[in-house]
Amino acid sequence: MATVEARHLVKSFDGLRAVDGIDLLAHEGEFLVLLGPSGCGKTTLMRMIAGLERPTAGDIVIDGNIVTDRPPRARNIAMVFQSYALYPHLTVKRNISFPLRAVRMPKNEIARRVDWASRMFGIERFLDRKPRQLSGGERQRVALARAVVREPAVFLLDEPLSNLDAKLRNSAREELKQFQRKLATTTIYVTHDQAEAMGLGDRIAVLERGKVRQVGTPQDIYTRPVDTFVATFIGSPPMNLIDDGASGVIGFRPEAFLPRGIEGGDDHVVFPFRINRIEYLGAERLVYGVIEGRDPGTIVIAKMPTNIRTAIAAGERHEFAVRRRDIERFDRTSGQRLDKGGR
C-alpha cells in the first residue's frame, strides 16, 4: 500500500501540453479514477506515474519518495493495459510469473504465488495455454493476475474493461471492485466511461485538456459539479444548461425536470416546455424540447421514469418544474459554479 502523488506535473509533446500542471493525490488503498474525454491527458498522466513517460516538469511521488528519475521497475507498480499486453509467445503460467522471474524470486515461491493469483481469478485451467487460445474475458483475467502476483504498492489500470463486450463488462466491473477491496491496494484507473468511473471510484478526478477540473466522490461530482464542463460531461443525458439572462447560466439534471405537480412541496421553478420528440427507453422516457421564451436553439431534456404516466406527446406544450434546490448556477464566461448562499 502506498500513496501516489503528482506534483505540478507537466508533459509537452512538441510544444503541446498533454498534461498541463496537474496536482493530484491518491490516498492509501484508494480507488482513484481518472475520467475524461479522449485526448484529455489521462493516459499520459498514468504513463508518467508508471515511469513509461518522462515528465517535462514536476514530480511523481510514491509513498513519500520522489521517483521521477527512477525506471518503471524501481517503482513497485503493476499496470494492466487496454490491450492486456500479454506476452503472446509465453504460456499463461509464464506470463503470470514474468514479474516474479524478473526479480529473481526463488522457484517454489514463484509457484506458490502463481497458484494463489490464478486461483483468485479462476484461471487455473488455462495455465498451460497461450494467450491467443483464450477469450477476451479470460485474457483480461490473466492480465489482472499478472498485475496482482507480485503484490505491488500501486495498481495502474488503463481502460482494462473497454475491450470486453457490454454484458461481460458489467460483471467484470463488479469483480474488479471486489478484488480491489480485498487487496486494499492503491489503484489508479483510467477510463472515458463515466458509468465505470461512477461505479468503481472511491473518488473521481475529471480531466480536460491536461488539467484536473474536479476531484471528488462520484456523488460530489454528480450533484455539485464545479463548472459547466463537468456538469455536461457527467450524466447521461448531461445536465441541461440554459441562459438565465443577467445572472448567468442555470443548470439542472434531466431527472429533476418533471411535469408540474408530480413532486410535492412548493419551492419549484416552473418552465413552459414545448416538446419536440420523445424517446421511449423502457425504464424511462427521454423528452426533448425547448423552453418557451428562452433561446430556441437550446435543447432541454427531461428524463421521466416510466411510472410517471402523464400523457404527453410531441408538439404539445406542458408546464414542467424543477425544485429550486436542484438548480445550479454557473458564471456565463468562466463556467464556474456560483455558490448559492446558505448551502
Site of interaction with other proteins (CB under 8 A):
47, 50-52, 71-73, 77-79, 81-83, 85-89, 98-99, 102-103, 132, 146, 150, 156
Residue 139, CA atoms < 13 Å, CB-side half-sphere: 21
CB of 159 to other proteins, least distance (A): 12
Cβ proximity to other proteins: between 157 and 176 the closer is 157
Residue 291 neighbours by CB under 8 Å, 6+ apart: 242, 271, 272, 273, 274, 298, 300
Cβ proximity to other proteins: between 83 and 334 the closer is 83
Cβ proximity to other proteins: between 91 and 310 the closer is 91
CB of 54 to other proteins, least distance (A): 13
Cβ proximity to other proteins: between 76 and 232 the closer is 76
Cβ proximity to other proteins: between 77 and 258 the closer is 77
Neighbours of 56 (CB within 10 A): 14
CB of 50 to other proteins, least distance (A): 5
Cβ proximity to other proteins: between 29 and 72 the closer is 72
CB of 84 to other proteins, least distance (A): 8
CB of 74 to other proteins, least distance (A): 9
CB of 113 to other proteins, least distance (A): 14
